[in-house]
Structure 1
Amino acid sequence: MQFYYGQQMPLRILDEAEFWKHQEEEHTVVIRELVSGLEPSYVEALKKWEEALSATHQQVVRYIESVIRTGYYVPYQLYQQVLQLVSHCLQQSLDFIKLCRQIKTESKAVSQNPTARVVLNHIIRESEYFIGIAQLLLYRK
């Protein structure tokens, strides 16, 4: 992510969050569909994550709409709210990665499915990519 967006930086990071929260939401479905015989506790956890990620995704979309309406000037209070939301998104991604790692290491169904392990590693890397972007913005303020 480049930092030449200037005043539009809040919109740029929200665009990233919108994309990655949607990706993570879809990843919950991918895991459930890919791993036949996935333990019910993981299936339920992934369904709950799907709901939580969807809710965050919708919240990000609402903030994008708010930032767009402000034009070229993003009020300080709105900017701070965007940073709080990005911080929430970052923490959510960290927690989602924990679940993915737990499934990868503890699920018997995954241990018998080499493709599932590869896909889980890919999902983890993608969430880590978003975390890197979010950290860059949050620690740059």
Structure 2
Amino acid sequence: MQYYYGNQMPLRLLDEAEFWKHQEAEHTEVIREALNGLEPEYVQALKEWEQALTETHQQVVSYVETVNRMGYTFEELQEQVTELIKYCLDESLKFIDLCREIEANSAAAKDNPFAKTLLNHIIRESEYFVGIARIILYGHTPA
């Protein structure tokens, strides 16, 4: 991510969150469709995650629209955007935990090389967003 956006930085931060929340919501559907025989509790958990991630995505989009229409400056939105990014980070970490749980405990994934590859890919993508969010929030990626 480039940091030369100046007073447009809130939009850039929100753009990242918007993209990754949309990706994670889509990933819930990909997992449900790709893993034949996925246990009902994981199917249900993924449906609930899809709803939650979609709601977060919509909240981020709402912020983007507000910034675009109202012309707020970074200072005016900094605290709100920071809190939203913290929420997005925490949400992604929990989604990663669910993916790891499915990989470790689901019969549909445990001995299925494709499922492991898919889940690891999804985890890596969410971890990428986690890294971006940590840089945004803390200026570096904590060890």
Aligned CA-pair RMSD: 1.1
Q: Aligned partners of 1:38 and 1:19: how far apart in 2?
A: 27
Identity within the alignment, %: 63
Query: Runs (4+) of structure 1 moved beyond 6 Å?
Result: none
Deviations 1:68-92 (A, max 9, x none): 1243x51534221011001000000
In 2, the alpha carbon distance for the partners of 1:67 and 1:138 equals 19
Matched with 1:82 is 81
Equivalent position SS for 2:103: helix
2:8–2:74 contact (8 Å) kept in structure 1: no
Aligned residues: 139
Query: Is 1:8 matched up with 2:8?
Result: yes
C-alpha separation in 2, matches of 1:36 and 1:128: 25
Q: Distance in 2 between matches of 1:111 and 1:91?
A: 26
Structure 2 residue runs without a partner (length 5+):
none
Distance 1:51 1:134 in 2: 21
Helix, strand or coil: the match of 1:8?
A: helix
Secondary structure, aligned partner of 1:37: coil
In structure 1, C-alpha distance between the alignment counterparts of 2:10 and 2:74, rounded to whole Å: 11
- TM-score, length-scaled by structure 1: 0.94
Q: TM-score, length-normalised on structure 2?
A: 0.93
Letter in 1 for 2:6: G
* C-alpha distance in 2 between matches for 1:59 and 1:33: 26
Distance 2:36 2:75 in 1: 49
Q: What CA distance in whole angstroms lies between the structure 2 residues aligned with 1:75 and 1:131?
A: 22
Structure 1, gaps ≥5 residues long: none
Residue in structure 1 matched with residue 42 of structure 2 by the alignment: 42
1:102-139, Cα deviation, whole Å (9 max, x unpaired): 00011111123211110000000000000111110111
Structure 1 stretch displaced more, 74-83 or 24-33: 74-83
